[in-house]
Chains A and B, each alone.
Chain A
Amino acid sequence: MIPSGFEYHAASSVQDAIRLLTENEDAKILAGGHSLLPMMKLRFAEPAHLVDINGLRELKGIDRDGDVIQIGAMTTENELIASEILQQHCPLLVDAAKLVADPQVRNRGTVGGDVAHGDPGNDHPAVMLALDAEFVIQGPEGERTTPANGFYLGTYWTGLGEDELLTAIRVPVIKTGTGYGYNKLKRKTGDYATAGSPVVLTLDSDVCREIRIGLTNVAPMAIRAEAAEDLLRGQVVTEALIEQAAEQVMAACDPAEDLRGDVEYKTHMAAEMARRSIRDALARARS
């Protein structure tokens, strides 16, 4: 299987990449290529131009500035896993990256590509919703930042313009009193989620002050289970409340039936992943 023909451009800078996107009709960014090339082989995508950004070192790397960690879009999954900054200050991203695909894919696949692709099966989008991350985007008009919440509009449909480039992702440092968890059900190692749920919550003398519950692969795009969050916010989170929240998680799901399961199964599994992640997050927030 070989993709159909296209013109290949290696971008020499971020500005050059944006110029290539603007000047060429039907051009696409090539990051790790581990979503795009498989789609091109199957003719689900047939871009006329590929703009390769693998040479742009300025899009790599992880830096902490106080309470904010900035991650270059071209940072690979394996680089997330190896990052001491993330292990110490945002281990949720390390845990999530470990659940993405397999070692070879994680060597090529980038966090920027994972969040920009708009595939509901990708793990990072829901994680970014739960973290309340911010995306740094460069376009012909300059730089803008936009919250992850609100970025996902539908399947392969995000707030990114056709001539824009995602350059970095900003996530907050996870502090004492804040807990996190990501549980993902998959059929086998290396598979996309049947259902997944990242949770980040903050306790204040055991009262849940803030909580975000993300959901992976159980709707046309990554979503939050907001009604479930509303139930838990301001409360001491008991098992009985988690059960009520799980009902609300199920109400938020709208999965597509496929080889990973039917609608009912995926909906129930999403609730179970959310229960587990809420419990993990509570335990970590208390410790």
Chain B
Amino acid sequence: MAKQHISFSLNGQQVDALVEPRELLVHTIRETLSLTGTHIGCETSHCGVCTVDLDGVSVKACTVLAMQANGSEVMTVEGLADADGLHAVQQAFIEEHGLQCGFCTPGMLVRAYRFLRDNPNPTDEEIRWGMSGNLCRCTGYQNIIKAVHSAAQKLQQA
């Protein structure tokens, strides 16, 4: 199948890629555009580790065609930190030990970022519901919930 040209904004920068129609967005981001922060876990739409922000909503990049990102705005975990340092969500995951092996963390961070945009002052129950598309094999989730809570407070104070 002939490759096709796509263009989209990735973490605020305009990027171009030649993709096969069957190529998944996560592969374009990792392999063609060399941003390997976004991980691949299950590849079957279950684990959420490939979560990116696509036009302001969280999606699993293993279940979106790269072609479908044409003309859109994508943000990955690499887009969280800025010149001033780590994003509040990242800082909170460090402080609250919201990670152990770290494999699930990119998806957790990008999802937590969007979740707190949509719901800046969530209850624990809302955090559990909002983060339920992301699996973690290590932490038992408790510290992830704490980290999202703490990030919410940091963002409210900022």
Interface on A for B, CB 8 Å cutoff? 1-8, 10, 30, 33-34, 37-38, 40-41, 50, 52, 54, 78, 101-105, 107-108, 189-190
A2 touches B27 (CB 8 A): yes
How far is A38 from B60 in the complex, measured between Cα atoms in Å?
A: 12
Contact-residue bracket for chain B: 20 to 34
A190 touches B23 (CB 8 A): no
How far is A41 from B23 in the complex, measured between Cα atoms in Å?
A: 11
B21 touches A6 (CB 8 A): yes
Q: How far is the CB of B121 from chain A (nearest CB, A)?
A: 18
How far is A34 from B65 in the complex, measured between Cα atoms in Å?
A: 11
Q: A103-B130, A104-B60 are in contact. Are A7 and B43 (CB under 8 A)?
A: no
Measured between beta carbons, the chain A residues less than 8 angstroms from B111 are 103-104
B67 touches A41 (CB 8 A): no
Measured between beta carbons, the chain B residues less than 8 angstroms from A105 are 45, 60, 133
B51 touches A104 (CB 8 A): yes
A6 touches B1 (CB 8 A): yes
A41 touches B132 (CB 8 A): no
Q: A8-B4, A108-B59 are in contact. Are A102 and B48 (CB under 8 A)?
A: yes
How far is A170 from B20 in the complex, measured between Cα atoms in Å?
A: 37
How far is A34 from B4 in the complex, measured between Cα atoms in Å?
A: 23
Closest A-B pairs by Cβ, 8 of them: A102-B133, A8-B21, A104-B133, A107-B57, A189-B132, A5-B1, A1-B43, A3-B22
Q: A33-B63, A38-B45 are in contact. Are A103 and B68 (CB under 8 A)?
A: no
10 A–B contact pairs at CB < 8 A? Answer: A2-B23, A3-B22, A5-B20, A37-B24, A38-B45, A102-B132, A102-B133, A103-B131, A105-B60, A105-B133
Q: A2-B23, A50-B21, A190-B132 are in contact. Are A8 and B67 (CB under 8 A)?
A: yes
Cβ of B46 under 8 Å from chain A: yes
Measured between beta carbons, the chain A residues less than 8 angstroms from B48 are 102, 104
Most buried by B among A5, A8, A10, A38: A8
How far is A3 from B20 in the complex, measured between Cα atoms in Å?
A: 11
Cβ of B64 under 8 Å from chain A: yes
Q: A37-B63, A41-B44, A104-B51 are in contact. Are A6 and B133 (CB under 8 A)?
A: no
Cβ of B105 under 8 Å from chain A: no
Q: How far is the CB of B64 from chain A (nearest CB, A)?
A: 7
Measured between beta carbons, the chain B residues less than 8 angstroms from A103 are 58, 111, 115, 129-133
How far is A3 from B65 in the complex, measured between Cα atoms in Å?
A: 10
Q: Tell which of B24, B44, B51, B68 touches A2, judged by Cβ atoms closer than 8 Å.
A: B24
Residue of B with least CB distance to A101: B133
A37 touches B20 (CB 8 A): no
Which of B41-55 touch A at CB < 8 Å? Answer: 43-46, 48, 51
Q: How far is the CB of A50 from chain B (nearest CB, A)?
A: 7
How far is A250 from B96 in the complex, measured between Cα atoms in Å?
A: 49
How far is A106 from B51 in the complex, measured between Cα atoms in Å?
A: 13
Measured between beta carbons, the chain B residues less than 8 angstroms from A30 are 65
Residue of A with least CB distance to B131: A103
A33 touches B133 (CB 8 A): no
How far is A37 from B77 in the complex, measured between Cα atoms in Å?
A: 24
How far is A34 from B130 in the complex, measured between Cα atoms in Å?
A: 19
B59 touches A104 (CB 8 A): yes
Q: Tell which of A4, A34, A107 touches B45, judged by Cβ atoms closer than 8 Å.
A: A34
Q: How far is the CB of B5 from chain A (nearest CB, A)?
A: 13
B63 touches A34 (CB 8 A): yes
A41 touches B20 (CB 8 A): no
Measured between beta carbons, the chain A residues less than 8 angstroms from B23 are 2
Residue of A with least CB distance to B1: A5
Most buried by B among A40, A54, A189: A189
Please name 8 further chain A to chain B contacts, defined as beta carbons within 8 Å, in addition to the given A37-B45, A40-B22, A104-B51, sorted by A numbering. Answer: A1-B44, A2-B22, A8-B67, A33-B68, A104-B59, A105-B45, A108-B59, A108-B64
